[in-house]
Every structure is written in C-alpha cells, then in structure tokens.
Amino acid sequence: MAEVWRGIVREYLDHLPFDESDRIVSLGEGGTPLIYAEKISSEVGAEVLVKYEGMNPTGSFKDRGMTSAITQVVKDGDHTVVCASTGNTSASAAAYAAHAGLRCVVMIPQGKIAAGKMAQAIVHGADLVQVDGNFDECLDIVRELSESYPIALVNSVNPYRLQGQKTAAFEIVDQLGEAPDIHMLPVGNAGNISAYWMGFKEYAEAGRASRTPKIWGVQAAGAAPFVLGHPIKDPETVATAIRIGKPASWDLAVAARDESGGWIRAVTDEAILSAQARLAAEVGVFVEPASAAPIAGLLAAAAAGEVPRGATITCTVTGNGLKDTATALGDRTLDPTVIPVDVEAAASVLGL
C-alpha cells in the first residue's frame, strides 16, 4: 500500500516543538504538489514550479500554521481562539477549531472578504464580526482582546503559526532534492515569507539542502509597505487577501529579504489578474488573485532581464481560486450555450 500523508506535524515532528504524546489537531494538511509551469518556464528562461497551497484542507497555506497553533492551544487548555483575517486565516481557524471542539471568534474588514472564505467561517461555526476598518485595525482589536480575556490569538504573531508554515520550505527541498535558486511568494502580513526563510535555513543547517534560496517577495502596488519602506494607512487592491498596510512580521520579513540576498517588489492589480488567468489557462492551476502576485512579479523580473538563465524558481501559490470565483470570472457570465438532447446539435455548436 502507498504511504498515507499524516499532516505536517507528524511528518516533520523532528523539526517542530511537539512530540508523540501531544494530541495533534490535524486535517491532513501539507504534502501539496509542486507543479512544473512549462510555458512560463520557457518564457522566463528558467525552471518554474508552483507550490499549490490551494490543495490544503481549507484551500490555503494557513492550514500548515493552524494545525500547529491549534495543537498548542489544546495543549495549553484554552477553549477559545481569535483571529483577524482577510479571509483565509479565519477559514482555517474556524475549521481547526471545529475539529478540536473550540470556540472560534473572527474579526474581518467589512465587505472586503471573498464570498467563499466568508462561507467557510460561517459553515464551520465561527462567531464572525465585521469591523468598519481594514485588516490592520482588526488585528489591533484581536491583539487587545487576547491580552484582556482568556482567548488565544492564532494570527501569525503567534509563533506556533510560523513553526507550522515553515514546513512548506521543507517540502520544496524534499520534492526537488535541493533548495531552489530563488523562492517567490506573495507578502501581506509577512508571516509566510518569515516562515519560509526559517524553514529553508533550518533545512540547510540540518544538511537537507546545500544552500538557501534568494527570497523574492511580491506585494500588490496599492498595498506595498515594504516597497515604500514604511506602513501605509489605506491599502487597496483587488487581491483582498494581501490588502494589508501594517505587516505584523515586519522585521522578520526584512531579514528574510536581506539575509537571502532577495527583494520585495510590487505588481499592479492588472498584472495580478493577468497572471491568475495564465495560471488557470496554461498550467491548470486555479488560484485566488493574491496567489498570482509572485507569477506577475516573476514575469516583470524576466521582462527586465533579471531572471538568471536556467535557474530553478519555486513560487508559492497560496490559496485556491474556488474561494473567489467572482473576481476570476470578471465580466464573463455563467451561461454557456444550451442545446437540445441531440448529438448533431452538440457537434454543430462545437464546429465539429
């Protein structure tokens, strides 16, 4: 029988702050595919592979951090978890809290969450509160709540979140047999870029890779505090997942960028949507807008002649496109041609 994936905590127990006796709260997250992007590779003159994190149980990379964060919450004996979210963290927190039998409280920016993500928090039974403000302001509220009440904070400022998320870097090295030359990912609250850098460094130190990659982070132009060099007040982008102006893991992300010899740049919403469409139509991978940012950033770097020829470049595509079908469809409608039950009519409409 083929071996069955046991979730990231059990698979990488030696590298995580847990042991066999802990009650591990898992939905089987991780073990996601690394998919070769042929056309994009030939266009940029490198080997480009996408790490499809939309394959996780709730459809985003957040599940890696949530299995470890909620496992620790249960260990500590807490009964309620809280998070601020642009949608994916709340979907993940709600699902893992449901699995563990905990109460989950979620603060989201009003009207700025994709429908699928909101539906996830609702069906998993979270207490959902909309805030008349942005993600950064939601995070301020939940930080204070968790300081004043017996509620565990499960945003990525919780160190157990980054512990779980670093396993994606381990998987990439395990899948390639070596670290890539460059790793690219979208940057919002900056937890994930920090977690990947930690993961790549730890695996190299453990002798599992001979080097660490350069980290290239990509933000949306209307929400690009790292590119500007300071937090911003009113972030705006079609990629609502990364509509963030005051990233919590600022220093860790800057360290990931600088220690790796990489960069953090911005791409326009238009470039994000175009990269999202290319991933769907050319690679067969349907991602949400934020997840397409690294591909847009890669295409821009290639156009500027900055992609080393033949390099191995891995790109994390962070969330599943099914969470936000409205944005992906744009002005396309859901009403394909209708025909009678008739083979001739089918052939005719297809021009066969």
When binding is defined by CB under 6 A, the residue of 126, 241, 256, 283 that contacts ligand F0G is 241
Give 109's strand partners.
131
When binding is defined by CB under 6 A, the residue of 9, 290, 298, 300 that contacts ligand F0G is 290
Q: Least distance to ligand F0G from the beta carbon of 335, Å? A: 29
Task: Closer to ligand F0G by CB, 290 or 313: give it.
Answer: 290
On the 0-12 / 13-18 / 19+ scale of CB atoms within 10 A, 207 is: exposed
Backbone torsions φ then ψ of 278, nearest 5 degrees? -65, -40
In whole angstroms, give the CA distance from residue 284 to residue 277. 10
Any contact of residue 288 with ligand F0G (CB under 6 A)? yes
Q: Least distance to ligand F0G from the beta carbon of 227, Å? A: 14
When binding is defined by CB under 6 A, the residue of 109, 164, 191, 213 that contacts ligand F0G is 191
Residue 149 exposure: Cα atoms within 13 Å on the Cβ side:
13
Q: Whose CA is closest to 214, among 225, 200, 226? A: 200
Any contact of residue 264 with ligand F0G (CB under 6 A)? no
Any contact of residue 189 with ligand F0G (CB under 6 A)? yes
Q: Whose CA is closest to 173, among 15, 308, 306, 23? A: 15
In whole angstroms, give the CA distance from residue 184 to residue 313. 7
In contact, 152 and 93? CB cutoff 8 Å: no
Any contact of residue 106 with ligand F0G (CB under 6 A)? no
When binding is defined by CB under 6 A, the residue of 58, 60, 260, 312 that contacts ligand F0G is 60
When binding is defined by CB under 6 A, the residue of 57, 109, 116, 188 that contacts ligand F0G is 188
Any contact of residue 318 with ligand F0G (CB under 6 A)? yes
In whole angstroms, give the CA distance from residue 29 to residue 43. 32
When binding is defined by CB under 6 A, the residue of 187, 267, 271, 295 that contacts ligand F0G is 187
User: Residues near 33 by Cβ (< 8 Å), separated by ≥ 6?
Assistant: 51, 52, 55
Residue 133 is inside which H or E element, if any? none
Q: Least distance to ligand F0G from the beta carbon of 87, Å? A: 5
Task: Closer to ligand F0G by CB, 7 or 109: give it.
Answer: 109
Task: Closer to ligand F0G by CB, 86 or 212: give it.
Answer: 86
In whole angstroms, give the CA distance from residue 168 to residue 15. 12
Q: Least distance to ligand F0G from the beta carbon of 322, Å? A: 12
Any contact of residue 275 with ligand F0G (CB under 6 A)? no
When binding is defined by CB under 6 A, the residue of 32, 85, 260, 314 that contacts ligand F0G is 85
- Side chain identity, residue 345: A
- Binding pattern to ligand F0G, positions 18-57, x when CB under 6 A? ----------------------------------------
Residue 151: alpha-carbon gap to chain centroid? 25
Residue 39 exposure: Cα atoms within 13 Å on the Cβ side:
9
Binding footprint of ligand F0G on the chain (CB under 6 A) = 60, 62, 85-89, 156, 186-193, 241-242, 288, 290-291, 318-319
